[in-house]
Each structure stands twice: as C-alpha cells, then as structure tokens.
Amino acid sequence: MPKIKGTELVEKRNILNEIRQNNMTLQQLRFFSIYLSKINARDLSTRIVRFPLADFQKIMGLGKMNIQNFRNTVDSLLLNVIHIPNAIGGMDAFTLFTNCSLGKDENNKWFVEINANDKALPLMFDFKSHYFTYQLWNALQLKSANQIRMYEILKQYEHLGKREIAVLELRELLGIAPNEYQRWERFRTKVLDSCQKALAENTDICFTYEKGRSGTGGKWLSIVFHIKKNENY
C-alpha cells in the first residue's frame, strides 16, 4: 500500500469531468482524484484500491478514528449519485463506488478498500480518447470543492487555451446551489476571483477571464476563460 506522493497521474474522461456536480465535498473530490491516480485505466483488475486507514482518515478529514464518523463518511461516499446523459436523450444515474471494506492485512495493519461500481467502469477504464491528465498534487493543494472543480474544468481545455462557458452551466459544473452566490458580484468575488488566485498560487495552470455573451443591462450570460501554463508556480 504505497503512500500518496502527489506526483501520481490522474487520467479523467471528458464526459466524467463534464458531469453536473451534485454535492460532492472537498474531501470526496480529493478522494476521487486519488482513486483515479491509483488505478491503471488500461487494466480493469486495478478497480479495487486499498488505502492504509491513516491515509483514508487524512483524505476524508476524519481526525482521530471514530467508528460512527467512519460509517457516516463511507455511507456518504457510497451514496453519491452521478447522472450521465445517454444516447437517446435520457439519463442514467448510478453511484461511482459499490462497496467499501475496513479490514486488517497480513501485517495486522488496518486498511480501507473500495471498489468501483460496474456501471461506472466505462467512465474510468479502457478509454482511448477524449480525456485529459494532471498530476495529483494539483488537486491536493486546493482548499475548496469549487477550486478543484474549476481546476479540472479549465485543465481539460488547457491545450486549446480558451473556453467559453455559460454562467448557469458553470454554476452547475461547480455544484453551486441555486440559492448560493445569487448576486453576480458575490459570485465573481467568492468563486471566480477566489479560484483565480488559488489556481495561480497552487497549480500548474492559471487563467484570466472576461465577459462573453451579455444580456439585458449588460448581464453576464457567459464567461470566456483564457487558460495557460502557470510559469510562476
């Protein structure tokens, strides 16, 4: 059970990255990135990943081991549902993971083992195109769910250097609830400017942004992001 170094490579399918986030926490997003960094996307047998219990506690912010907190954390992780558009214009809903085990290895060391849901396997394995990669440390350095999601949303388009996103779509991609940051200035300050600063300080990319399409009274309908390699980090 190797320790997490941060230099591991995360490979993520575009379709998985473009899922509208429901309510994944910072810890759950970190955990999923770490899971993706530990599997081999070309080898389905790596779908079961084992973590030393101490690593799992740290990733999920559990602190001192408490079995009830552990159960609640695992339940929340296993019950997180994603929604994928299907070929006929409908939707498929399923969880990313199907089961989690707490046990001891041959050296009497506690571990946590997690297995991907069969339904989710096509999103994680055997893809040959339409995916992007990043080193794990980028996700681990960030301090909020918004920051991790903004990083991944823009990292996917780093090779193009530009991405225009409708404001409503961006809110959905980030998992921001309709009642959060309803005023534009608050959204701009707490989300856009905050993420801009965090990515510039902690990741391998940085960005600037400007108004794209505008509506009545100059309302921002879309945002144009300019993405580039972070030479200053």
What is the Cα–Cα distance from 205 to 155, expressed in whole angstroms?
Answer: 7
Contact indicator for 21, 143 with CB cutoff of 8 Å:
no
**217, two tokens:** 């009274």
Sign of CA dihedral 25, 30, 34, 36: positive
What is the Cα–Cα distance from 138 to 35, expressed in whole angstroms?
Answer: 14
Summarize pLDDT for 53-91 with one digit per residue, the tens.
999 999 999 988 888 999 999 999 999 898 888 889 898
Q: Which of 6, 21, 61 is nearest to 153 (CA)?
A: 21
Mean pLDDT of the chain: 93
Using the 8-state DSSP alphabet, how is residue 47 labeled?
Answer: G
Residue 149 has a pLDDT of 96
Number of residues that this document lists for the chain: 233
Task: For helices 167-174 and 145-155, give the axis angle rounded to 10 degrees.
Answer: 120
SS3 assignment, position 192: helix
Summarize pLDDT for 19-44 with one digit per residue, the tens.
876 678 999 999 999 999 999 999 99
Q: Is the pLDDT of residue 5 over 90?
A: no
Strands 131-135 and 110-116 turn out to be unpaired
pTM for the model stands at 0.93
Lowest mean pLDDT among 79-83, 127-131, 143-147: 79-83
Average pLDDT over residues 199-215: 97
Query: Confidence band (pLDDT; 50, 70, 90) for 2?
Result: low
Summarize pLDDT for 208-222 with one digit per residue, the tens.
999 999 999 999 999
Neighbours of 77 (CB within 10 A): 20
Residue 20 has a pLDDT of 78
